[in-house]
Amino acid sequence: ASGRGAAAAMSPLQANNLSEADNIKVAVRVRPLFPHETERGGTSVVQVSSNTTIKVVVPGPAGTSMQRDFAFHACLGPEVGQADVLHLCGVPQLLDAALAGYNVTIVAYGQTGSGKTYTMSGREEVISSDGYSGGDTQHDGIMTRALQHLFAAMQARKGDTKYGVAASYLEIYNEGIYDLLNLKAKNLPVKWDAALGFYVPGLKQVPCTKIDTMMDVIRTGMQHRHVGSHELNIESSRSHAIMTLTLHATPADPAAADYGAPRMGKISFVDLAGSERLKDTKSEGAMLKETTNINKSLFVLGKVISALAERDSAGTSAHIPYRDSKLTKLLMDCLGGNALALMIACCSPASTAVEETLSTLSYATRAKNIQNRPTVQYD
């Protein structure tokens, strides 16, 4: 059977034991408590109680405390190493779905210092060292491991299917878009096209025929994120970074009966800005003004998530404010419709961060209530 034939027999969702309700999966990752936090009297108040549940002990007045329990698709404790994050969060299934034509997004959310960049990209010192594979790969994050999985999967199928991959890497800071693969491209616009949806004209697209080229894209993007933030005097914790792979699949045999337009898939890896100061994404007035100035995109993402969750639980057709920020415009085709998304909510276990952790977990709970509705039929 050709690659297409195999995909036609079963949707990627069915093939991976997923239902439509799983189109948005939410995982929580709790990082270890650092020695400097313990030295300052911090204790761990967040505990992963099972593969899917987590509890937070919230300190109250006069030595009292209250336990709050949360449930997610996957809960990863501080002992979980980088190599295990992928399969515990179902990333290989998502990548296979992208190869079969889905839009896939993997988003890291959480307060600054909670482990978003570590989870998505790995240790920065490893990424930015010369000679990527010579580095300490045990700390590699989801992006590099995902690219390895993807490349191996494309190689394994090359008898049936020919894949083309192009990579782009951008940063959104204060509603400005910067091309992390071309530092001269600043303040790029977002445009709408009926066929493409929202896109960034002029954004550098690097064709990747080799895994080394993909790795170079990650390394260059991360280095430029540092350089760019230094030049502009911005904190990188206030910016969103999005690395996107666009996939085109055609049958390897040009004479194949089903040789037609390429099947398109897309994978975006999103390292969001720190979520602190966004304690209540529904509040208006002063909070709206502050968050609008500091990070409109993250604020609007919260509103989009709330609106989608409300729409899905109430079964209504509410207005979803995708167009209100650059980030939500660019993620529009990932949240809703033919899309699969994984949100990894990153948390510190420290007692000193408990308020932020609770806020992250309630944001993640809202995201869990969204059900993307696939429009593509695999029949």
Site residues (vs ligand ADP, CB under 6 A): 31-32, 110, 112-118, 123, 237, 274, 346
Give the nearer residue to ligand ADP in terms of CB position, either 32 or 92: 32
Rounded distance, CA 358 to CA 56, Å?
Answer: 8
- 117 or 246: CB nearest ligand ADP: 117
Q: How far is the CB of 356 from ligand ADP (least distance, A)?
A: 11
CB of 92 to ligand ADP, least distance (A): 20
Which residue number is nearest to ligand ADP in terms of Cβ?
Answer: 115
| Pairing between β-strand 191-193 and β-strand 197-199 as defined by DSSP bridges | antiparallel
CA 141 vs CA 108, 116, 138, 167: distances in Å: 11, 10, 9, 17
As measured in angstroms, the least distance from the Cβ of 310 to ligand ADP is 28
In the bound state with ligand ADP, the residue whose beta carbon lies nearer, of 96 and 140, is: 140
Which residues sit opposite 242 in a β-bridge? Answer: 170, 270
Nearer to ligand ADP, 31 or 296 (CB): 31
Q: Return the number of other C-beta atoms located less than 10 Å from residue 93's C-beta.
A: 22
Rounded to a whole number of angstroms, the minimum distance from the CB of residue 342 to ligand ADP is 17
Task: Compute the distance between CA of residue 269 and CA of residue 23 in angstroms, rounded to an integer.
Answer: 16
Q: How far is the CB of 77 from ligand ADP (least distance, A)?
A: 9
Say how far apart CA 188 and CA 86 lie, in whole Å.
Answer: 32
Q: Which residue lies nearer to ligand ADP by CB, 110 or 265?
A: 110
Contact criterion met (CB below 8 Å) for 30 and 88: no
Closest CA to 170 of 245, 86, 235, 276: 245
Q: Which is nearer to ligand ADP, 18 or 54 (CB)?
A: 54
- For the bound state, the minimum distance from the C-beta of residue 137 to ligand ADP, rounded and expressed in Å, comes to 14
Residues 6+ apart with CB under 8 A from 110: 116, 272, 274, 275, 345, 346, 347, 360
Closer to ligand ADP by Cβ: residue 101 or 115: 115
Helix (H, G, I), strand (E, B) or coil at 240: strand
Q: Smallest distance, Å, CB 221 to ligand ADP? A: 15
Question: Rounded to the nearest whole angstrom, what is the least distance from the CB of residue 34 to ligand ADP in the complex?
Answer: 7
Query: CA–CA separation, 121 vs 95, rounded Å?
Result: 17
Which runs of E-coded beta strand occur in the chain? 24-30, 46-48, 53-59, 65-71, 74-76, 103-109, 161-173, 176-179, 191-193, 197-199, 206-207, 240-251, 263-271, 339-347
CA distance 58 to 354: 7
Residue 115 vs 135, nearer CB to ligand ADP: 115
Neighbours of 82 (CB within 10 A): 18
- Residue 245 carries which side chain, given as an amino acid letter? L
Cβ-contact 324, 81 below 8 angstroms: no
Least separation, in Å, of the C-beta of 20 and ligand ADP? 31
Nearer residue to ligand ADP within complex by CB, 120 or 340: 120
